[in-house]
Structure 1
Amino acid sequence: MGDGQPLIPPSAVDFDLSGVAAGWDRTMSDLEAGMWRMEEAQPRLRSPIVAVDLLDESPDWERLVRAHEWASHIVPRIRMRAVEPVFGLGNPVWSVDPEFDLDYHLRRIRLPEPATFDHALRICRHLACEPFDKARPPWTAMLIEGLPDGRAVYVVKTHHSMTDGMGGIGLMTLLHSRRREPTPDKPDRLPAPPEKLNTVTALGEEVATQLRRTPSRIKGLVEGAVRTAAAAVTDPLGTAGDVFGYANSLRRIVTPPPEDGSPLLRNRGMGRWFGVLEVGLPEIKQAARAAGGSVNDAYVAALLGGFARYQRALGQSPSPVPMGMPVNLRTASDPSGGNRFAAVRFVGPATETDPVTRIAKVRSIVLGLREEPAIDALDLAAPVLSRLPTWLLATWYLSQSTALDLQASNVAGVPVPVYLAGARIERMFPFGPAPGCAVMATLVSHAGVCCIGVNLDTAAVTEPKLFMDCLQEGLDEVVALGESGETR
């Protein structure tokens, strides 16, 4: 939503006749429909994605408003609400809100002095905990002013059904400019026309969508069956081995981690607490190389080291950490919106005291999981799961997610300095949803700095400031590997 030269040029976005960006599905996927509906039965499963930008100064408000208006022309999904088909027969359909009101979605407040970034984070946390008005497009943005030295915070919250982490970064680039000054005569489009879709006509849209998808689905099934039959004839032993291997992979993917996690983190509730960490991207890259791992391996190992420290600080011996991690399945041809990820679960080696060995163990585990044939099992099962009664689906999902003490996500961010309506973005902290897990940690790299947002369930993490200190120590321990040049 930038008023300077956008990082994603508007000319790259195509639209169909209904005003929906080409490549954006009109109907929610089965996975997205599940996320949209489950929180009605289980509020703990609310799935907001929150991005918090720390700005070097307060942006020009009128420019910021115009930038959001412009972006809603370029990406009509910004103006769209989700309409449930009558009797819940099918998935929700995205429709242009006939009463779209930018003033409702974009807000502005000023904190009383003396205010700090921590005070702003509290506002962001409260905003994240508020449920969406599902009669409107599911996003909210707020400018928070009154920080020291004229700084400000911009926070935007979107529902996970709109997009995943990578898609969210893609959408956020519309907000960003490469310079402070506005760019005149930007390419623009007329806003998508309002639609009067109701529950009955939404059902018609859903039926039409399924009919359009049916030929390609049948073709895929037939081609798959033909390939399988041919392989069974030419190589029966190999085919049997493939089937057996997939079955074993499916068992590993769907079976929860065998560890129960720490008793300290067993409770779950509705309370949330936001904390932040940061580290230079070159520094963590150097540490990862010193240990023979990737940035993601070093990042996860640092989190696990923090978990172990927290347990010791509260008088308990460290235990392995049952955890989950989204694996990005998005390709360059995928649209910015929607969700394209798979979820893997494993036992994090938090009891390993040597950081180099811990990084190596994380790397071995994650590389193995990325190669699992059944890694997309949740996506494949989504059509069946989405047809379950909502309360049953929510109960099942909550039973799976509460078994995890940690979810860790790593999202590639923007590598260059960018601006928001004339204000430079100094830090960009992401806060992923924590639907049932004790801790959700998300890393986004921004202009050479890894910004880590930590979303805590306060029923599980009863000493959040201590916990964040422990995570910082775990991060410092890993970064020190690069500073010492230690390798093994």
Structure 2
Amino acid sequence: MGDGSAVPGVPPSAVDVDISAVAWGADRTMSDLETGMWRMEEAEPRLRSPIVAVDVLDRPPDWDRLVRAHEWASHVVPRIRMRVVEPALPLANPVFAVDPEFDLGFHLRRIRLPEPATFDHGLQICRTLATEPFDRARPPWIAMLIEGLDDGRALYMVKTHHSMTDGLGGIQLMALLHSRRAEPTPDKPDRLPPPPEQLTPVSALGKGIGEELARLPGRIGGLIRDAVGAATTATASPVQATKDVLGYANSVRRIATPPATHGSPLLAGRGLGRWFGVVEVGLPELKRAAHAAGCSVNDAYLAALLGGFRRYHTAHGLEVDSIPVGMPVSLRTAADASGGNHFAAGRFAGPAGDLEPAERMRQVRAIVLGLREEPALDVIDLAAPLLSRLPSRALAGWYLSQSSGLDLQASNVAGVPVPVYLAGARIERMFPFGPAPGCAVMATLISHVGTCCIGVNLDTAAVTEPALFMTCLQEGLDEVVALGGPGNGEDDTP
């Protein structure tokens, strides 16, 4: 799963660094945001939040080597062996603790499809596994190797709970553990597996409260510094201080207010059914299209999705001007530990009307740039300590009221730009499927060795004709890519 050769511009693998310093998921106590994601799905199954990655392999990997690689990974990243322990009272957040009965054979599975089997058949297996709830008494992840595809390829699926990490944290883990060559790495660094832990709910409560008390002086100090700073500013420039307060209050209002558009009646249903689809495009081609309109790859991606929504409505004899869109915005900084969740949720009215693709792209760009500059973008993260203490049913009801009004959630994560391997098999594509808790469609893009791999997670109660929807999405992507014409790839506009 690594080869010892560092690649410029690419995060190091576990064999390139001192593995004793590897700290992915080192924080043992869930954040308030993660606590909310973990608890609310018990009250409302529609809010289950698995993150799924599906690797398309050029051939089946060596199974014994794959098992050994996962065992090694559980040594390097102890979180792989950890279950979630709920405190005896919901006064503290859940704690990750090493599962005293950790069984790799439960988490790593293998299936061979009956012949003839296609990629779509394999994707159906992934979708079925993705919709099954986690065994909450075990570490919240599952991996499965799917063999028997008629073209000789194989699929490798990993499903993790969103409370473990967000998309960027998942990429950090992938970069750490995937190999950069097909051959085995002799004498790769290792360490002993973490010892089992018998953490009880009572112990978890004590640990959580203890950590909260330990963080309290820092939080109070931060509040005092902020208060002193605000008072100093108010004394020196009361007019500017008033403007700042009003500006933040208005930003909170904009962030908290639902997008200025209603959800489409065509996509109004919400349920437990899920359907996975994929589309892909070359990264240079998408860059050229974005550059032609003076926009970024993310702008081109969102414009393509919105164009697909418009075509789907047109196919049903309906017109649509805009749809409510949600977009996670990363809050990660260089100082943040790897793993975990560090993002904010932005919402806006996505232009889905009959626009030229370049104009739609420019409108998207203006909206997204404005959203990223909102002072109160992290307001939900700031409110998370209060929200996570709500009864699970109340929290789930609040979240569902926010997310069910969204027709689309879209995420874009930079992947690994160099070839990587899994137990000897080359990873040709890596399709991400983000959770769709309450929204109609969740689309996620990861760039993988020059290809933009887009995984689409559909709520089948909302999108009742998934195959037609995917055709419309492909046409929306083709429409945007055509802007770039033929030529060499160009750098992305920031």
Q: Is TM (by shorter chain) over 0.5?
A: yes
Q: For residues 285-330 of structure 1, what are the alpha-carbon distances to aligned partners after superposition, in whole Å with 9 as ceiling and x for unaligned? A: 0000001100000000000000000000011112311010001112
> Per-residue deviation at 1:368?
0.4
Paired position in structure 1 for 2:396? 394
> Per-residue deviation at 1:427?
0.4
313, 316, 319: which is aligned to 1:314? Answer: 316
> Per-residue deviation at 1:26?
1.4
**Whole-Å separation in 1 of the counterparts to 2:25 and 2:237:** 39
296, 299, 304: which is aligned to 2:301? Answer: 299
Contact residue 68 and residue 175 of structure 1 kept, 8 A: no
Secondary structure at 1:38's aligned position in 2? helix
**Whole-Å separation in 1 of the counterparts to 2:332 and 2:185:** 31
**Whole-Å separation in 1 of the counterparts to 2:92 and 2:354:** 47
Contact residue 324 and residue 406 of structure 1 kept, 8 A: yes
Gaps (5+ residues) in structure 1?
none
104, 110, 113: which is aligned to 1:111? Answer: 113
Tell me whether 1:253 sits opposite 2:265 in the alignment: no
Paired position in structure 1 for 2:475? 473
> Per-residue deviation at 1:195?
0.2
**Whole-Å separation in 1 of the counterparts to 2:149 and 2:295:** 38
What is the percent sequence identity of the aligned residues?
A: 72
Across the aligned residues of Structure 1 and Structure 2, the Cα RMSD in angstroms comes to 1.4
Paired position in structure 1 for 2:59? 57
Q: Look up the equivalent residue of 1:25 and give its one-letter code.
A: D
Using the TM superposition, name which of 206-215 and 248-257 deviates more: 206-215
141, 145, 159: which is aligned to 1:139? Answer: 141
Q: For this pair of structures, how many residues does the alignment match?
A: 480
**Whole-Å separation in 2 of the counterparts to 1:22 and 1:224:** 31
Q: For residues 240-277 of structure 1, what are the alpha-carbon distances to aligned partners after superposition, in whole Å with 9 as ceiling and x for unaligned? A: 00000000001101111121121100110100000000
**Whole-Å separation in 2 of the counterparts to 1:411 and 1:5:** 25
1:440/1:23 Cα in 2 relative to 1: closer, same or farther (>3 Å)? Answer: closer
1:5/1:62 Cα in 2 relative to 1: closer, same or farther (>3 Å)? Answer: farther
Runs (4+) of structure 1 exceeding 4 A deviation are 12-15
Paired position in structure 2 for 1:267? 269
**Whole-Å separation in 2 of the counterparts to 1:169 and 1:333:** 17
Tell me whether 1:419 sits opposite 2:424 in the alignment: no
Q: Look up the equivalent residue of 2:13 and give its one-letter code.
A: I
Paired position in structure 1 for 2:13? 8
244, 261, 275: which is aligned to 1:242? Answer: 244
Secondary structure at 2:120's aligned position in 1? helix
Matches within 5 A, 1:450-461: 450-461=452-463
TM-score norm. by structure 1 comes to 0.96
Contact residue 413 and residue 445 of structure 2 kept, 8 A: yes
Q: Look up the equivalent residue of 2:208 and give its one-letter code.
A: E
> Per-residue deviation at 1:387?
1.2
Q: For residues 367-387 of structure 1, what are the alpha-carbon distances to aligned partners after superposition, in whole Å with 9 as ceiling and x for unaligned? A: 000000001011000001111
Contact residue 309 and residue 318 of structure 1 kept, 8 A: no
**Whole-Å separation in 2 of the counterparts to 1:348 and 1:466:** 21
Q: Look up the equivalent residue of 2:396 and give its one-letter code.
A: A
Q: Look up the equivalent residue of 2:153 and give its one-letter code.
A: R
Secondary structure at 1:131's aligned position in 2? coil
**Whole-Å separation in 1 of the counterparts to 2:353 and 2:50:** 32
> Per-residue deviation at 1:12?
4.5
> Per-residue deviation at 1:219?
1.2
TM-score norm. by structure 2 comes to 0.95
Paired position in structure 2 for 1:276? 278
Paired position in structure 1 for 2:405? 403
**Whole-Å separation in 1 of the counterparts to 2:229 and 2:336:** 27
1:22/1:59 Cα in 2 relative to 1: closer, same or farther (>3 Å)? Answer: closer
Secondary structure at 2:246's aligned position in 1? helix
> Per-residue deviation at 1:3?
5.3
Paired position in structure 1 for 2:127? 125
1:181/1:22 Cα in 2 relative to 1: closer, same or farther (>3 Å)? Answer: closer
Contact residue 265 and residue 438 of structure 1 kept, 8 A: yes
1:227/1:12 Cα in 2 relative to 1: closer, same or farther (>3 Å)? Answer: farther
Gaps (5+ residues) in structure 2?
6-11, 488-494
1:87/1:306 Cα in 2 relative to 1: closer, same or farther (>3 Å)? Answer: same
